[in-house]
Chains A and B, each alone.
Chain A
């Protein structure tokens, strides 16, 4: 179970990385913590000619407090967030999410940006970043743009990233002190990818009332509907929402997703 032979570069500047990513003469993969890419390489599910390791780019590993948002570099590890990247409500929520991802040895390498860019429908950040209203900063040689986390994933293991483009920063809007957050996932084993998941954020100060249903085998389902939240995520609505996902015809999945959403709301005190 060994990868195909590939070339490897570890640029120290974003510009150098973007130059490498712009190459069209070979298949290029971006590597951050390699906790998802590594298994794919070993299993030969990914067979790149060139791997560009972006973890030596200083700006991608920083956490900055900005006025509107906590700006987390794409290569910040789950473990760093688990251990508390910010000492406030936002930091607390991030720590709780990060601490529940896989296992410490994986969290020490795995990164928030890598997880989002990998776009596994069951992954924690895919669901939680959407629920938190994160904005993702993408860069390519053509320039930079931002995409809402809720729109970043376009399908299972598919994102809005264009060829030559890389995710550089996750901008998490500050939660107000009264923000209510709930996250619940249904796993049979500790550290396992979720079979059903849901995240909810109610932050009246910012007029946010969002539910996200995850682990749909497709994109997360985002519901910005105060009534839906008030009604505790009525299961008929969940059934209806999931009917548009690959899980729609699996009653077990529909049922467990509805339960998980209700529990996320309970955890948020809603």
Chain B
């Protein structure tokens, strides 16, 4: 693709400042008179909080929930309207009870973080410890101590999708059962969370500069907690160092910092350190499944039956709630496959661990891990290559658009072709040939596939049913021509690595022809941008990018009207192209038109649109059930059967993102997602002991995939535009992270097959691999 519009592989506008160390992240902000905060955090997982011991010398610098409550601050409350949902109330600092290790119980204020930590070390609390709910299954048993005592059990929400199908199950020739666990993970953007709160005396606003993906939602949540009207709060996201979901919620520390800035009339700053991140927050992905797939003798799926538990932690987070993830499992477990019988029960379990946050892909990496193991299990049972069984069961292109068994509306695509291309691209035949020979180093070679589809940019149709505090509607963008012919775009979503300063400019350029360097994106600031639910769920390009196109089209009409007048032509005979309005052989540039509107209005046509060269346009795709990008991932691994180490020797992604605005950025999103998926599959785990103490509090214990753990990742594109969105774009931000754990698990099991060993829990650690080999040896 030539040019710099939609489809062009152009370099990012944001790169230069970031490469020179000239970005501005939240920890880079220093305000005059700013104080620093350190939190005292609970050392125990479940206890009644009896009181504090605070030395008199520092009493003035220490605040607890009692201080906030006295000012009428309310707990964070994120209810779901789904029937039976039990509501948790999360005070920004524990009030009468602590429910997980790391829960904030007091905040200390000083001139430096070090001094604030000195004060925190002097504060102690008295606890009456209670039995701890560490394991989600045990927490569901009768007699478990209750995390929220007024509940009848520890389940936020139980759901059931579909109906049992005993006759089909009993008659099915093939039955594959698995029990599968996935670990609690930490999300780990390289920049942690952080906030600078201050009071703006001129605008009389509370100003929160915070590392967030959703400034408008944070404002709504803050307003509800603080009782301050939303117009008196401004939330600004500076440069944000990655999010992946961790910055998509209202955090207790934000509430505390906001309250302190008002109470003390001084700016305050809290920067999450890595230990706080690993211990007290940012948790995700801990699921447990009992699942059975039924198939015919060819491997055609007849039905799937599952019981899923999700460890949601102690509280329901704002705005996504504690039930989104488990309930989502029920609706997406069928994956991209077509079959006719399905029954899934899900439980969102409350435990004495940090609340979980929807992390890139939310429940999809887990359900993909489950369903793709089942597909491989079926293939094994019927004696076929797993890719054949996938193709047999995937929704075929002729049936698109397709409403699946849980009512998901797959928009377009050729799912089986992604499998065939992956099989060819990974050279399955070559791997099979290699497997027939012994490796000189004794390692075992395996190849694995995983296919998924990813619902992105879900809209009102999907979200109103959840009944949570946030339902996306129309997305808006503001486009304003500057007096010298440049363009300012304002959007309420927030770019934190996705390169929206570039891609939104590409969309605007596509419509208006203004060069990228004259287009500026203003984003992530409630004071300057239209309302938006923010950046989450692979939605920003489809939704806000679509709104940018809408606004620019309206601007184009107005530019054409004025331009035609200046050319003494009719608008109908004029076109906007290459940054100029043209008619016959004559042309007038957007800069000249802008000059006329702003600075020489005497030259305007009498019937000019008085709204001028500033437009707020809204967008909602024709169907807002979401876009469905999809992919097949293929991995080749070498497993060391003596140490259980896994080396990824080839990795291929064949994906379809519809129309790509910038293929370079799409590939970057996939690469990064795959690296995180490798973490899910092989490395990342945040374990807890029986007392609910987190055992991974540093990067020495929590392993993040690095340069040597992530292989070169090959990406091939397919191109099936969405029928519902601007340009045919599909959301793609999360996809890369969905399939790797599944593809690696299938590859490892393929490698272990000669030994009769099988692994099914993530992460697939050396210890688990050796245990599986040992178990297989014992049964032989």
Among B88-96, B628-636, B747-755, B766-774, the one that faces the other chain is B766-774
Among B484-492, B569-577, B704-712, the one that faces the other chain is B704-712
Q: What chain B residues lie within 8 Å of A189 (beta carbons)?
A: 683, 703, 705-706, 708-709
Q: What chain B residues lie within 8 Å of A3 (beta carbons)?
A: 114
Q: Which of B273, B703, B771 contacts A188 (CB 8 A)?
A: B703
Q: Which of B274, B275, B643, B705 contacts A256 (CB 8 A)?
A: B643
Q: What chain B residues lie within 8 Å of A192 (beta carbons)?
A: 700, 703
Contact A44 B121 (CB under 8 A): yes
Would you call B14 an interface residue if the criterion is a C-beta within 8 Å of the partner chain's C-beta atoms? no
Write 26 A-B pairs (CB below 8 A) sorted by A numbering. A1-B273, A2-B113, A2-B114, A2-B117, A3-B114, A4-B118, A43-B275, A43-B698, A44-B117, A186-B643, A188-B645, A188-B683, A188-B703, A188-B709, A188-B766, A189-B683, A190-B707, A190-B708, A190-B709, A191-B706, A252-B770, A252-B771, A255-B770, A256-B770, A259-B642, A260-B643
Q: What chain A residues lie within 8 Å of B767 (beta carbons)?
A: 252
Contact A5 B114 (CB under 8 A): yes
Question: Which 3 interchain pairs have the tightest Cβ spacing?
Answer: A2-B114, A1-B273, A190-B708
Give the docked Cα–Cα distance between A260 and B644 (Å): 12
Would you call A152 an interface residue if the criterion is a C-beta within 8 Å of the partner chain's C-beta atoms? no
Specify the chain B residue showing the minimal Cβ separation from A253: B767
Give the docked Cα–Cα distance between A256 and B640 (Å): 11
Would you call A174 an interface residue if the criterion is a C-beta within 8 Å of the partner chain's C-beta atoms? no
Q: Using CB atoms and an 8 Å cutoff, list the residues of chain A in contact with chain B.
A: 1-5, 39, 43-44, 186, 188-193, 195, 251-252, 255-256, 259-260
Give the docked Cα–Cα distance between A189 and B701 (Å): 11
CB proximity of A191 to chain B, nearest CB, Å: 8
Could you list 15 further interchain pairs (A-B, Cβ under 8 angstroms) beyond the known A188-B645, A256-B642, A256-B644? A1-B117, A2-B114, A4-B118, A5-B118, A43-B275, A43-B698, A44-B121, A188-B766, A189-B703, A190-B706, A190-B707, A190-B708, A195-B766, A252-B767, A255-B770
Q: What chain B residues lie within 8 Å of A251 (beta carbons)?
A: 774
Q: What chain B residues lie within 8 Å of A191 (beta carbons)?
A: 706
CB proximity of B608 to chain A, nearest CB, Å: 60
CB proximity of B731 to chain A, nearest CB, Å: 32
Give the docked Cα–Cα distance between A166 and B163 (Å): 72
Q: What chain A residues lie within 8 Å of B642 (beta carbons)?
A: 256, 259
Q: What chain B residues lie within 8 Å of A5 (beta carbons)?
A: 114, 118
CB proximity of A100 to chain B, nearest CB, Å: 12
Give the docked Cα–Cα distance between A162 and B705 (Å): 40
CB proximity of B421 to chain A, nearest CB, Å: 32
Q: What chain B residues lie within 8 Å of A252 (beta carbons)?
A: 766-767, 770-771
CB proximity of A156 to chain B, nearest CB, Å: 14
Q: What chain A residues lie within 8 Å of B703 (beta carbons)?
A: 188-189, 192
Give the docked Cα–Cα distance between A39 and B766 (Å): 27
Point out which of A4, A39, A191, A252 has the most chain B C-beta atoms below 10 A from its C-beta.
Answer: A252
Q: What chain B residues lie within 8 Å of A44 (beta carbons)?
A: 117, 121
Contact A256 B766 (CB under 8 A): yes
Point out which of A188, A193, A195, A251 has the most chain B C-beta atoms below 10 A from its C-beta.
Answer: A188
Contact B698 A259 (CB under 8 A): no
CB proximity of B41 to chain A, nearest CB, Å: 13
Q: What chain A residues lie within 8 Å of B274 (beta carbons)?
A: 1
Interface magnitude class on chain B: 20 to 34
CB proximity of B39 to chain A, nearest CB, Å: 12
CB proximity of B82 to chain A, nearest CB, Å: 39
CB proximity of A115 to chain B, nearest CB, Å: 15
CB proximity of A4 to chain B, nearest CB, Å: 7
Give the docked Cα–Cα distance between A180 and B703 (Å): 34
Give the docked Cα–Cα distance between A2 and B642 (Å): 41
Q: What chain A residues lie within 8 Å of B644 (beta carbons)?
A: 256
CB proximity of A38 to chain B, nearest CB, Å: 12
Specify the chain A residue showing the minimal Cβ separation from B276: A1
Contact B275 A1 (CB under 8 A): yes
Specify the chain B residue showing the minimal Cβ separation from A256: B643
Q: Which of A4, A39, A259 contacts B643 (CB 8 A)?
A: A259
Q: What chain A residues lie within 8 Å of B771 (beta carbons)?
A: 252
Specify the chain B residue showing the minimal Cβ separation from A255: B770
Q: What chain A residues lie within 8 Å of B113 (beta carbons)?
A: 2
Specify the chain B residue showing the minimal Cβ separation from A184: B643
Give the docked Cα–Cα distance between A115 and B177 (Å): 50
Give the docked Cα–Cα distance between A1 and B114 (Å): 8
Give the docked Cα–Cα distance between A110 and B645 (Å): 28
CB under 8 Å from chain A, chain B span 579-600: none
Q: What chain B residues lie within 8 Å of A259 (beta carbons)?
A: 642-643
CB proximity of A185 to chain B, nearest CB, Å: 11
Specify the chain B residue showing the minimal Cβ separation from A192: B703
CB proximity of B441 to chain A, nearest CB, Å: 11
Specify the chain B residue showing the minimal Cβ separation from A1: B273
Q: What chain B residues lie within 8 Å of A188 (beta carbons)?
A: 645, 683, 703, 709, 765-766
Give the docked Cα–Cα distance between A188 and B683 (Å): 8
Binary per-residue interface labels of chain B (674-691) against chain A in the complex, 1 for a CB within 8 Å, 0 otherwise: 000000000100000000
CB under 8 Å from chain A, chain B span 641-693: 642-645, 683
Specify the chain A residue showing the minimal Cβ separation from B768: A252
Q: What chain A residues lie within 8 Å of B121 (beta carbons)?
A: 4, 44
CB proximity of A147 to chain B, nearest CB, Å: 28
Binary per-residue interface labels of chain B (94-125) against chain A in the complex, 1 for a CB within 8 Å, 0 otherwise: 00000000000000000011100110010000
Give the docked Cα–Cα distance between A252 and B644 (Å): 10
Give the docked Cα–Cα distance between A257 and B683 (Å): 20
Specify the chain A residue showing the minimal Cβ separation from B766: A188
Specify the chain B residue showing the minimal Cβ separation from A186: B643
CB proximity of A235 to chain B, nearest CB, Å: 11
Specify the chain B residue showing the minimal Cβ separation from A250: B767
CB proximity of A21 to chain B, nearest CB, Å: 25
Q: What chain A residues lie within 8 Å of B700 (beta carbons)?
A: 192-193
CB under 8 Å from chain A, chain B span 199-224: none
Give the docked Cα–Cα distance between A4 and B766 (Å): 38
CB proximity of B35 to chain A, nearest CB, Å: 15
Contact B770 A39 (CB under 8 A): no
CB proximity of A176 to chain B, nearest CB, Å: 30
Give the docked Cα–Cα distance between A1 and B270 (Å): 12
Give the docked Cα–Cα distance between A195 and B767 (Å): 11
Specify the chain A residue showing the minimal Cβ separation from B704: A189
Q: What chain B residues lie within 8 Å of A193 (beta carbons)?
A: 700
CB proximity of A1 to chain B, nearest CB, Å: 4
Give the docked Cα–Cα distance between A193 and B700 (Å): 8
Q: What chain B residues lie within 8 Å of A256 (beta carbons)?
A: 642-644, 766, 770
Q: What chain B residues lie within 8 Å of A195 (beta carbons)?
A: 766
Specify the chain A residue showing the minimal Cβ separation from B114: A2
Binary per-residue interface labels of chain B (311-342) against chain A in the complex, 1 for a CB within 8 Å, 0 otherwise: 00000000000000000000000000000000
Q: What chain A residues lie within 8 Å of B774 (beta carbons)?
A: 251
Give the docked Cα–Cα distance between A190 and B707 (Å): 9
Give the docked Cα–Cα distance between A147 and B706 (Å): 39
CB proximity of A198 to chain B, nearest CB, Å: 12
Specify the chain A residue showing the minimal Cβ separation from B117: A2
Binary per-residue interface labels of chain B (583-621) against chain A in the complex, 1 for a CB within 8 Å, 0 otherwise: 000000000000000000000000000000000000000
Contact B708 A39 (CB under 8 A): no
Q: What chain A residues lie within 8 Å of B275 (beta carbons)?
A: 1, 43
Give the docked Cα–Cα distance between A1 and B27 (Å): 14
Give the docked Cα–Cα distance between A145 and B558 (Å): 89
Give the docked Cα–Cα distance between A137 and B709 (Å): 39
Q: What chain A residues lie within 8 Å of B118 (beta carbons)?
A: 4-5
Specify the chain B residue showing the minimal Cβ separation from A195: B766
CB proximity of A234 to chain B, nearest CB, Å: 15
Give the docked Cα–Cα distance between A186 and B640 (Å): 11
Specify the chain B residue showing the minimal Cβ separation from A47: B121
CB proximity of A27 to chain B, nearest CB, Å: 15
CB proximity of A90 to chain B, nearest CB, Å: 28
Specify the chain A residue showing the minimal Cβ separation from B116: A2
Give the docked Cα–Cα distance between A93 and B487 (Å): 62
Contact A39 B698 (CB under 8 A): yes
CB proximity of A43 to chain B, nearest CB, Å: 7
Give the docked Cα–Cα distance between A1 and B121 (Å): 12
Q: What chain B residues lie within 8 Å of A1 (beta carbons)?
A: 117, 273-275
